[in-house]
Structure 1
C-alpha cells in the first residue's frame, strides 16, 4: 500500500527510536544488534544516560538553536531518527523500551480498543487492567541488559512509578521517581554515579504538555525549551569521565489552526456505523459496528478526501507503518485507520472535549512529526 508523498513509513531496524536502546546496550557490551552503530560512537563508555524529552522534535531543535544552545551544540552522529507509527508518546515509549516496532509490542495508539471488552484503554491512564504483562507480553531491552549483569535505572515522573505503561515499557529496570525537572537531573547523575557500568534512562514530560496547551510557536514553549537546555547542561556538568549522554525524543509536534480542524462528532457521515472512535486527532482508529466496516471506510474516505490517508485495517498492516503486526494484537487497530495530512486534526468535541481544545498535536506520519533527534555528549575520558 503506497502512502501519500507527504507521509512516510518509519524505517524500523535502521534509523528509528526503536533502535536506540539496542544500540546503547551493544555499546555497553551487551550481546545483540547495534543498528545505529553507537558502540563506535560512544567509544569505551561504561555508563550511558539516555534522556528522552517528550515532544522535542528534530525540526524544533533546529528552529530554536539560539534558545537551546547546549542541545544545538551536541553531536549528531547518525542524524535524525524517526518515531514509530502512530507518532505518539505511549507507542514511542514502548518502542524505545522494548526495541520493537508497535506491531510487535502491541501498544498501538494513545487510545485503543480492548478487543472483546467493548471499551477503550487510554495508555497514559493505564494501571492494571488489562494486565501490563499480558497486554504487552514482549521482553524489554532493560530485561536483556539486566540478564547481562548491567544495572539499569529509569528516572521518571513520580506519578507513573507503578503505571501500566511503566510496567509494559520499562520492566527489568529499577524505577527512581522524580518530582521535578531538577530532581530528574539529579536522579540521572546520581544513578550514573552509583555503578561502574550502567544504563540510565530519564523521561521529561513538560515540553510536550506546554506545546499541546500553548502551541509550539509560543513564548511559553520557547521558555520551556530553555529549561530543558538547562537540565541538559546540569547533567553534562556532572557527567562522569567514562560516561555518555544520549538525548532523544518520542515525536515532533505541529500547531493546528482553527481552519484545519474537522469535528468528527459534528459530521454525521463520520459517526454513522461507528462503534468506537479511538486514537487521537491526527491518528484515528475507527471501529465499526459489525457488518458496517465497508460502509464506514467508504464514508470516511469520501468525507476526508486529501485531508487524511484513510485505509482499512488490512491495508494499514500491509503498508508496513506498524512494522510486522502480530496476530494477537491486530484487532487493536481500527477497522478504519485515518492519518492526518498537512495540519489537519480530526477532533471530537463531544467525546474528547479537552483534547479537542489543544493548540498543537502529533500522531501522524509527516516528516515534522516523525523526525526526532539523536544528540550525543561523551565524558572527558572518552
Structure 2
C-alpha cells in the first residue's frame, strides 16, 4: 500500500532504532547480526554507552547545532536513523530494548486498548496490569547480553525503576535509578566500569517534556537542549579509553499551531459508533462498537480528508508501517488508524484535557518525527 507522499514507512531491519542494540550486541561479541554496520565504529570497544535523549529529533538538532556544540561535533557515520510507528516513546523504547518492530513486540501505541477488557493501558503509567511479561512476551537484547556474559545496565529515572514499561523493554539488565541529569551522567560512566565487557543504556527525559509544554521553537526548549549538551560533555570527559558512546533518540517533534487542531470531542461525526479512542493526537487508534467499523472508517475519512492518513486495521497492517504484525497482537491496533499529516493534531479536549493543551507533538510518520540521530564518540584507545 502506498502512503501519502509526506508520510514514510520505517525501514525496519536496516535503519531504525530497533536495530541499534542488536548491532551493539554483535560488536561486543554477544551474537546476532550487525544490522547497522557498526563493526568499524565499535572496533576494539569493550564497553559501549548508549544514551537516548527523548525528543532529540535529527532535524531539530541540525537546526540548533549552535546551542549544542558537543553534540554537533560528534561523528555521524551512518546518517539519520528512523523511529518506529507510531513515533512515540513507549513504542520506541520497547523497540530499542527488544530489537523488534512494534508489530512483533506488541507495545503499539502511547495508549492502546486491552482486548477483551474494554479499557485502555497508558504505557507511561503502566505498572503490572496487564502483566508486562505477557503483554510484551518477546526476549530483550539485554537478556541476550546476559547470556553472553556481557554486563548490561539501564540508567534511568528513579520513578520508572519498576514500571511495566521498564520490565517489558529492559528485562535482563540491572536498573540503576538516576535522580537528576547529573546523576544520569555519573551513572553512565560508573556503570561502564562493571565487568570485562559492558553495555550501559541511559535515558534522558526532560527535553521531550519541555518540547511538549513550551514548544520546540521556544527559548525553554533551546535552554534544555544546552543542558543535554552539557550531560553529553560530562560523559565524554569520563569516557573510558576502551569505550564508545552512541547518542540517539526515540522520535522527533513538531509544533502544532492552534488552527491545526481538530477536536474529536467537538466533532459529532467522529464520535458516532466509537467505543474507545486510543493513541495520541498525531497517531489515533479508533475502536468501534461491534458492526460499526466500516461506518466509523467512512466518517473519519470524510471528516479528516487530507489532514490525516485514515485506514482500516487490515490496511494499516498491510502497509508495513508496524513491521510484521503478530496475529495475536493485531486487536491492539484500532479498527481505524489515523496518522496526522502536515502539522495537524487530532485532539480530544474532553477525554484528554491536558494532552490537548500541549504545544508540540509527535507520533506520526513525517520525516521530522521519524528522523533520529546516531552520534558516535570513541575512547582514546580506539
Give me the TM-score of the superposition, normalised by structure 2. Answer: 1.00
- 2: distance between equivalents of 1:181 and 1:162? 19
Q: Name the CA distance, whole Å, in 2 between partners of 1:200 and 1:321.
A: 29
Residue 215 of structure 1 deviates from its aligned partner by: 0.1
Paired with 2:145 and 2:42, the residues of 1 have a C-alpha distance of: 17
Residue of structure 2 in register with 1:261 after alignment: 261
* Correspondences of 1:139-218 after superposition (within 5 Å): 139-218=139-218
- Is this contact kept in 2: 1:178–1:184, CA < 8 A? yes
Quick one: distance in 1 between partners of 2:279 and 2:194?
A: 40
Report the secondary structure of 2:311's partner residue.
strand
- State the 4+ residue runs in structure 1 displaced beyond 3 angstroms: none
1:79 aligns with 2:89: no
Aligned counterpart, 1:336: 336
Partner of 1:241: 241
Partner of 2:92: 92
1:17 maps onto 2:17 in alignment: yes
CA distance in 1, matches of 2:195, 2:74: 25
* Residue aligned with 1:229, SS: helix
Per-residue deviation at 1:30?
Answer: 1.1
CA distance in 2, matches of 1:266, 1:246: 44
Give the Cα separation in 2 of the matches to 1:143 and 1:134: 16
User: What is the distance in 2 between the residues matched to 1:266 and 1:324?
Assistant: 35
Following TM superposition, by how much is the alpha carbon of 1:64 offset from its aligned partner in structure 2, in angstroms?
A: 0.5
- TM-fit CA distance, 1:194: 2.4
Deviation of the 1:193 alpha carbon: 1.7
Aligned partner of 1:325 in structure 2 is 325
State whether residues 28 and 39 of structure 1, in contact with CA within 8 Å, keep that contact through their aligned partners in structure 2: no
Within-5 A mapping of 1:273-312: 273-312=273-312
Structure 1 residue 322: Cα displacement: 0.1
Deviation at 1:41, TM superposition (A): 1.2
Residue equivalent to 2:372: 372
C-alpha distance after superposition, 1:179-214 (max 9, x if no partner): 000000000000012222100000000000000000
Corresponding residue number in structure 1 for 2:122: 122
Instruction: Provide the residue aligned with 2:250 in structure 1.
Output: 250
> CA offset at residue 124 of structure 1?
0.1
TM-score normalised to structure 1 length: 1.00
CA RMSD of aligned residues (A): 0.4
Contact 2:253 2:368 (8 Å CA) reproduced:
yes
What does residue 2 of structure 1 align with? 2
Residues 80-104 of structure 1: per-residue CA shift (max 9 Å, x gap): 0000000000000000000000000
In the alignment, structure 1 segments of 5+ residues that lack a partner are none
Q: What runs of 5+ residues in structure 2 fail to find an aligned partner?
A: none
Contact between 2:153 and 2:201, CA under 8 Å: does it hold in 1?
yes
Structure 2 CA distance, aligned partners of 1:212 and 1:249? 15
Secondary structure of the residue aligned to 2:350 is coil
Q: Deviations over 1:313-339 (max 9, x none)?
A: 000000000000001110000000000
How far 1:39 moved relative to its partner?
1.8
Name the structure 2 match of 1:270: 270
